[in-house]
């Protein structure tokens, strides 16, 4: 049984005070919710505030990025050990904004995944096609390429610890969500790829999140699909009320 995970990606939003206020309110709203895992990924500078506000709640804290080296002369970068020091359990790797706006490639994403895993962080590997790629009917090829390159050299044990997020680039921040059927089709393809490449145990255990304009109004239709195990939410995770509505989609 795969436990659903609803994760909020706050991107470049929220100061420390805003982080504290939002998480306190979120805790009041969701309380002891046990049937769903809840994760918030604030910006680096708000991680200490997030850790303090989330202490004793069900809210887990993750980061939006990491560097693959342990330490060194890498101006502007943040290491896995630094994230753990700030209370992170998870880290996003290869978000489409990192790929598109900051030139991240599959080789670097692979190194980041390995670093996250060897540091005991749970990586959430983001994959997804652009509108052009979808229109050219290249969805499967693009996503399989991202998985193949991103997961290169990982052991079966490491594979069992990762989470995948399918985020079609055309649905992120655009208000255009993939229909539950479109999302399910790609999720099933991803699970099938894991089964072929690794094993049915790896495929059955893999949690695949959907991301791209997930809102309280569309979450339950998405979550009803057999291969959708959670959501990675940007815009609708910024307000405690809407994020609380998302994590309570079953109620």
Catalytic residues: 95, 167
Q: Is 235 in the site for ligand PGA (CB under 6 A)?
A: yes
Distance between CA atoms of residues 209 and 189, nearest Å = 13
Nearer to ligand PGA, 48 or 216 (CB): 216
H or E element: which one contains 122? strand 122-127
Q: Is 232 in the site for ligand PGA (CB under 6 A)?
A: yes
In whole angstroms, how far apart are CA 155 and each of 127, 160, 181, 197?
A: 20, 9, 32, 12
H or E element: which one contains 150? helix 139-150
Residue 82, classified by CB atoms within 10 Å of its CB into exposed (0-12), middle (13-18) or buried (19+), is: middle
* Tally of CB atoms within 10 A around 96: 22
Residue from 4, 5, 6, 9 in contact with ligand PGA (CB under 6 A): 9
| Alpha-carbon torsion (99, 114, 188, 4), positive or negative | negative
Residue 34, classified by CB atoms within 10 Å of its CB into exposed (0-12), middle (13-18) or buried (19+), is: exposed
Residue from 4, 123, 212, 230 in contact with ligand PGA (CB under 6 A): 212
Binding mask 78-117 for ligand PGA (x = CB under 6 A): ----------------------------------------
Q: Is 129 in the site for ligand PGA (CB under 6 A)?
A: no
Q: Is 184 in the site for ligand PGA (CB under 6 A)?
A: no
Residue from 80, 233, 245, 247 in contact with ligand PGA (CB under 6 A): 233
Which range binds ligand PGA by CB under 6 A, 45-53, 68-76, 140-148, 210-218?
210-218
Distance between CA atoms of residues 102 and 104, nearest Å = 6
Least Cβ distance, residue 175 to ligand PGA (angstroms): 8
Binding positions for ligand PGA, 141-180, rule CB under 6 A = 167, 172-173
Least Cβ distance, residue 167 to ligand PGA (angstroms): 6
Q: Is 39 in the site for ligand PGA (CB under 6 A)?
A: no
Alpha-carbon radius of gyration of the chain: 17
Q: Is 229 in the site for ligand PGA (CB under 6 A)?
A: no
Chain positions contacting ligand PGA, by CB under 6 A: 9, 167, 172-173, 211-214, 232-236
């Amino acid at each position: 049984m795969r436990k659903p995970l609803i994760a909020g990606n706050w991107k470049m939003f929220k100061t420390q005070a805003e982080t504290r206020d939002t998480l306190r309110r979120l805790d009041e709203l969701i309380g002891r919710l046990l049937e769903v895992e809840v994760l918030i990924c604030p910006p680096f500078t708000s991680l200490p505030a997030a850790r303090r506000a989330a202490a004793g709640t069900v809210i887990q804290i993750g980061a939006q990025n990491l560097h693959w080296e342990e330490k060194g002369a890498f101006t502007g970068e943040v290491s896995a050990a630094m994230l753990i020091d700030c209370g992170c359990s998870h880290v996003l790797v290869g978000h489409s904004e990192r790929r598109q706006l900051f030139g991240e490639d599959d080789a670097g994403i692979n190194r980041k995944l390995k670093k996250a895993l060897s540091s005991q962080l749970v990586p959430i590997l983001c994959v997804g096609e652009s509108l052009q790629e979808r229109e050219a009917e290249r969805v499967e090829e693009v996503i399989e390429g991202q998985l193949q390159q991103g997961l290169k050299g990982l052991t079966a044990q490491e594979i069992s610890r990762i989470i995948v997020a399918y985020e079609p680039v055309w649905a992120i921040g655009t208000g255009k969500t993939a229909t539950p059927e479109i999302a399910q089709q790609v999720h099933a393809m991803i699970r099938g790829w894991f089964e072929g490449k690794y094993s049915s145990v790896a495929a059955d255990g893999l949690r695949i999140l959907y991301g791209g304009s997930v809102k309280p109004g569309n979450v339950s239709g998405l979550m009803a699909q057999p291969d959708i195990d959670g959501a990675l939410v940007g815009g609708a995770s910024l307000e405690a009320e809407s994020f609380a509505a998302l994590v309570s989609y079953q109620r």
